[in-house]
Amino acid sequence: MSQYDVIVIGSGPGGYVCAIRCAQLGLKTACVEGREALGGTCLNVGCIPSKALLHATHQLHEAEHNFAKMGLKGKSPSVDWKAMIAYKDDVIGQNTKGIEFLFKKNKVDWLKGWGKIAGKGKVQVGDETHEAKNIVIATGSEASSLPGVEIDEKTVVTSTGALELTKVPKKMVVIGAGVIGLEMGSVYARLGTQVTVVEFLDQITPGMDGEVCKTFQRMLKKQGLDIVLGAAVQTVEALKTKAKVNYKLRKDDSEHQIDADVVLVATGRKPYTGGLGLEEAGIDLTERGMVKTDAHWKTNMEGVYAIGDVIAGPMLAHKAEDEGMAVAETIAGQKGHVNYGVIPGVIYTHPEVASVGKTEENLKEEGRAYKVGKFSFMGNGRAKAVFAGEGFVKLLADKDTDRILGAHVIGPMAGDLIHEVCVAMEFGASAEDLARTCHAHPTFSEAMREAALACGDGPIHS
């Protein structure tokens, strides 16, 4: 039996970051992981592989649509799907091996196998029981499905199957116009698949700023994604090599059917706590199956914490990472903190969509007086040079104090641009602070400054 200061269960971005930070803070640390490779959903079947395929297919799109415009003539590349999948797998391997290296470097022990909480301060992995002063549950999430829909990961797939298809389908139905549906839908649409996205609500990406949402939907349609809104899926019939999706339009109850080679079910994820022994240990869950924690990530059992997708909040890798660091600091006697008001969200389609803080809809609901500074990428020289003039930056600031309350970007490198607003918000900056900061020319980030100027005396380039 080995003794640790901390045992982290799960090695996703929440767990591995927590384990490394614990070790850096002088705590003897182990991390339990049952998968073959470290890195969790994010590195193995989530963020990283999906971004590899988004990158590869975006290059294809550029070659097909924009190369000739720049005088780059010749045949567009053809797709060797096996090689593209191999590239994606190689990217996964490099990243997961990287975590193994970081564990060794920081002296974090990897306890290989599935962990179970076997009482206060005890974690069982296989036949061995390890002792720890503190346990951190970081077991993440798994795809949820719809009632009566059977996932075979071949014809009816979750995102995991969609990252591993043996061939590019001719027709794909995506159920759910959320982040996974639109990212994976974009990948296959760029590969020539006829993609139909079926969404229950009357808009895509619920929770997103309404104006961005409308522009985003228009752009996706232009890229060939067929989007059916207000559609309640009734059944998915899996045949030998095809599937049929039956749905009813909510507005008139009319019944429709679409067939596809592959159906991707992307209707959300649920916390994963299987085999952890939480019930026997007496650790409380919420009604939705999440591990219940207080504001300091403590569960109801002393010395047991929980972080990441398995607890409440947005299911995002960077949210899990921040919680991992904060819990490590808390265990080490410091004041761990996460500012949940400044967690960016990014959709890695083309263009990217990024947001942080309040939407206009939030502010209206709160009855808060605000002003809007908007700037189109059409007025940004760099964006025009790379055929990325569509889209805009929208900055929201308090009407009286000018304090930045939120930002929403649809356009080139939106996922990177958003971070200057995150830093500004952490420092309680005003739109004027941002507007008075020199931004290098020619960069996409000048659009952010122009949006900040639009909150004051006005932008220069529109």
* Interface with ligand NAI (CB under 6 A), residue from 27, 146, 189, 290: 146
- Distance (Å, rounded) from C-alpha 455 to C-alpha 399? 9
Residue with smaller CB distance to ligand FAD, 14 or 176? 14
Each residue 256-295 as x (binds ligand NAI by CB under 6 A) or -, in order, gives ----------xxxx--------------------------
- Distance (Å, rounded) from C-alpha 400 to C-alpha 100? 50
Contact between 57 and ligand FAD (CB under 6 A)?
Answer: no
Q: Is the dihedral of CA 104, 109, 115, 119 positive or negative?
A: negative
Residue 401 CB partners (closer than 8 Å, separation 6+)? 430
Q: Pick the piece of the chain touching ligand NAI (CB under 6 A) from 212-220, 235-243, 340-348, 364-372.
A: 340-348
Each residue 312-351 as x (binds ligand FAD by CB under 6 A) or -, in order, gives ---xxxx-x---------------------------x---
Contact between 407 and ligand NAI (CB under 6 A)?
Answer: no
* Interface with ligand FAD (CB under 6 A), residue from 4, 6, 8, 13: 13
Q: Pick the piece of the chain touching ligand FAD (CB under 6 A) from 41-49, 56-64, 82-90, 451-459.
A: 41-49
Sheet of 404-411, strands arranged across: 345-347, 352-357, 404-411, 392-398, 370-376
* Interface with ligand FAD (CB under 6 A), residue from 161, 169, 181, 308: 308
Each residue 421-440 as x (binds ligand FAD by CB under 6 A) or -, in order, gives --------------------
Contact between 34 and ligand NAI (CB under 6 A)?
Answer: no
- Bridging pattern class, strands 392-398 and 370-376: antiparallel
Smallest separation, CB 200 to ligand NAI (Å) = 4
Contact between 11 and ligand FAD (CB under 6 A)?
Answer: yes
* Interface with ligand NAI (CB under 6 A), residue from 23, 315, 363, 422: 315
Binds 261: which of ligand FAD, ligand NAI, none (CB < 5-8 Å by kind): none
Q: Which of residues 356-415 bind ligand FAD (CB under 6 A)?
A: none
The CA distances from residue 410 to 188, 193, 384, in Å, are: 21, 24, 14
CB 344 within 8 A of CB 314: no
Binds 177: which of ligand NAI, ligand FAD, none (CB < 5-8 Å by kind): ligand NAI
Each residue 133-152 as x (binds ligand FAD by CB under 6 A) or -, in order, gives -----xxxx-----------
Which residues make up the interface to ligand FAD (CB under 6 A)? 9-15, 32-35, 40-42, 46-47, 50, 114-115, 138-141, 159, 180, 272, 275-276, 308-310, 315-318, 320, 348
